[in-house]
Structures are given as C-alpha cells and as structure tokens.
Amino acid sequence: MREDWVECKLGDLITLKNGFAFKSDKYTDEGIPVLRIGDINDFKAVTTKAQRVIENAEYDDYVVNKGDILIAMSGATTGKFGVYNSNEKAYQNQRVGNLIPNSKRFLDKNFIFYLLYSLKREIEKQAYGGAQPNISAKKIEELDTILAPLPIQRAIVQKIESYFDLLNKGIAELKTAQEQLKIYRQAVLKKAFEGEFTATAYNRKDRVCPVSKEENNLPKGWKWVKLKEVAEINPKLPNKEEIDSLLEVQFLPMKLVEEEINKIHLIETKLFHEVQKGSYTPFIENDVIFAKVTPCMENGKIAIMKNLKNEIGYGSSEFHVIRCKNDVLNTYVFHYVVQAKFRKEAEMQMTGAVGLRRVPKKFLEDYQIPLPPTLNEQHAIVREIESRLSVCDKVEESISESLEKAEALRQSILKKAFEGKLLSEEEIAKCKQETDYEPASVLLERIKKEKN
C-alpha cells in the first residue's frame, strides 16, 4: 500500500519558524493581532482575545496568514496545533511556531497538517522542562516521517476529511447533549430550592412560587438566612497547635477539583509542617470548598471534602471554605452554591484586576439562602436532588467515554492514513492515473531543490 512512498525527516518537508518576542509595552487596543501560545486550539488559532501591536516593518518576518499551521512550543499548551483561520493578518509571538511547508507545488498543505497531527504524541515527547515544558524546533525537524506521491496526498486528505466530518458531527451531538444535561441539572436545583420536591410530603398544597428574597414568597415554614448564620466562612483549623508536624495531610491544588459534580481527586499528600510554609487554605472533613478566583469560580470548582487523609486538608489559597453548623446540611449548602444562578451573582460581586478577580468573603457571609424548618426536609431535598442528578452523572460519564473514544478514533484514522492503509487498491490505482503522479523519492528531490 506504501509503494512509491519514501521515508524522510520532518525537516525535509517543513521548516519550523519561531516568533518574535513582543514586549508588553508595545501592546495596544488597535493594530495587528499577535498570536500567543494560549490562542492556539486544535484545528484553529483563535484571535478574538489577541493582544495587538502597531504594524511595523520590523515584524514582517513574523506574519501569519490564513491557513498557516501553528504549534505552541512552550507552556501548558505545548504541542498543541492550530490552523490560523482568519483573513486578518497577524503576527506570531515568541514560542509560537509556524510550520511552513518547504514546497507549495509538491506538498499538499492539508496533508502536512494531518501528518503533523498524527505525530502529535511524538512531538509532545520531545518537550523538556518541568512546569513549563518547551519544544525545540530542531528536535521536531529531526523526527522520522514519510512522504507520499502528490495525488496520494490529495486522496488521503479527502478520505481523512470525509471520516472526520462524520466524527465531528457525532462529537457535536455529544457536546449538545452535555449542554442539555447542564440545563437539566440547573432546573433540578431550581425546583428543589423552591420547595417543589417536598411540597406534598410536607402538606404544602398551595402552588409553589419561584423563590424571591424581595417578595419573601418562600414555601410555608421556610425562612431566609444569611450564610454566616448557619456556617463559618474561612474558619481556622481546629486544634492546630496539637497537630504533629509529621502528620500526613491531604493536599488539594485547584486542578484536582472537578467542575460542578462534587468530585475531588485525592492523589496528593504533604506533611503538616510542609503546608505551614506556603500560603494554603486549610479545611477539614465535611467542609465545602468554593473556588473564589476567575475562571475557576464561574466554572463551578466547588466540592465537599470527603475521605481526607487524617481528616485534614490544605489546598489552593484561591478557595473559600464553608463549614456548616448543626442546623444545616453541607450537602444542602453545596447544591445551593453550585447553582449557576448563585455563581452568576458571585461573579457580579468579584473584585480585583482583570484575570485575577475574586469573590470577596463578605459576599458569602451576607448571602441569603432559603432554609426549610427541619433537617428532615433538608435531607429529603438532598435525596431528591441526588436521585435525579445520579442519572445525569451516569449519562455524563457515558458521554465523556464516547468523546474519549472519538478522539482515539481520530488518531486511529490518522495512523492508518500514514501507514498507507486508509486508501483502497482501487483508489490508489486511480491516483496513479493522474498526470502529476511520480514516486515520492523523486518528489522529495524536487522539494529539496525548491527549498534551496
């Protein structure tokens, strides 16, 4: 199937050009957008939030045009590819690589993009460094790869894209289902805190009205309470002076808290004396942690602390802690504050600079929540919420698995394509009838001459 193909180095086919180190004092609100590593997403580079600079001949060697293939060469997005899809001229910032095909005549640009994408994992392996990994242009260009005859390149691209169109349609449907689940979750929570799930059991035959602080139209027996009346906000660690300095405690950075679903990953611990050295937030078993910083708060990084090592934990300084008193359930409070409505109100009260805005402690303290008259009704409400949301969780899990399988299928399609197994014998025979068909070894020599 790979007859007339040739093995080569990636640098035989592309040249990786790094960007320009734009200084922050050059950025303006107008001018030419500067693409940074954070702007690169799979299949496209987004420019809507890009910084801009005034056009200057000094930057002419760093122009990015529509269709250029970009790669993030450092930071958290290292190895991520994108195709610049805007008609607007742009510049590439330092550590944004532009993967330029060495020939416009003998290389199909889309073939090069898919070839690079198939090598994504190999390219990521070339990254070096710790928290901020980097990729060397030289190492990328030294990777082993293949070249196919030009008509085969075009046929492979057409076949890949036909499969990807179907795959993307399925992915879009799965993501739509995810969004619908989010809407359903919020609808469940809204009904719960309007007393609708417990109206019959607690003999409230009157129609339940939407909860409004202004109109005070709570279900019968309920009352508005400030959160600080039923919970401590950011309390101290109890009996801290009695804790052994060598005690192992849970450590929970922001990344280990899932969004909205009350799930944490208990995979890190530290000794008690180690967490005393940093600016961390302490909490104990059953506390509710609430991310206070943007965008983590808006995304719903909120959870109840369960199964902590020695029932003590420390985490990011960007958490607020809610420790419920005896007259309110932590699960009741969690489900209330995880509501999109609550987070929207919190967002409106954020303070601080753009990019580091935070929910102040006072907002939580003074926020009023509707409270049923008994713990039994709180328990009943939580049961009703969780019975419904457990179905959501299972569907969510199924969707996530399907999305992972879709990405694995994408990689499988690319693998077959560049192993020469994607096209049928009939399709290959048709390619060989085209006037510009020639062995890839001959094509490679033409590319090298054009590059030189």
**Which pLDDT band holds residue 214 (cuts at 50, 70, 90)?**
low
Give tens-digit pLDDT for 368-392.
Answer: 999 999 999 999 999 999 999 999 9
Task: Please give the helix or strand (H or E) that residue 14 lies within, else none.
Answer: strand 14-17
Query: Tell me, what DSSP letter sits at residue 104?
Result: S
Distance CA 305, CA 317 (A): 16
Tell me, what's the pLDDT at 93?
92
Q: Are 341 and 313 in contact (CB under 8 A)?
A: no
Say if residue 310's pLDDT is above 80.
yes
Distance CA 47, CA 90 (A): 9
Mean pLDDT of 304-314: 96
Threshold 0.85, pTM exceeds? no
Share of the chain above pLDDT 70, in %: 94
Q: Where in the chain is the domain with CATH 3.90.220.20?
A: 6-149+437-451, 223-371
Catalogue the E-assigned strands of 240-389. Answer: 248-252, 269-271, 281-284, 288-291, 302-304, 312-315, 319-324, 368-371
Give tens-digit pLDDT for 41-63.
Answer: 877 777 766 789 999 999 999 99
Please give the structure tokens belonging to residue 371. 């409270």
Give tens-digit pLDDT for 95-150.
Answer: 999 999 999 999 999 999 999 999 988 888 887 765 567 888 898 999 999 999 99
Q: What is the CATH number of domain 6-149+437-451?
A: 3.90.220.20
* Helix and strand totals (H; E) in the chain: 14, 23
> 70 - beta bridge partners?
82, 98
The fold adopted by the segment(s) 223-371 is: Adenine-n6-DNA-methyltransferase TaqI; Chain A, domain 2 (3.90.220)
Mean pLDDT of 226-251: 95
Tell me, what's the pLDDT at 323?
97
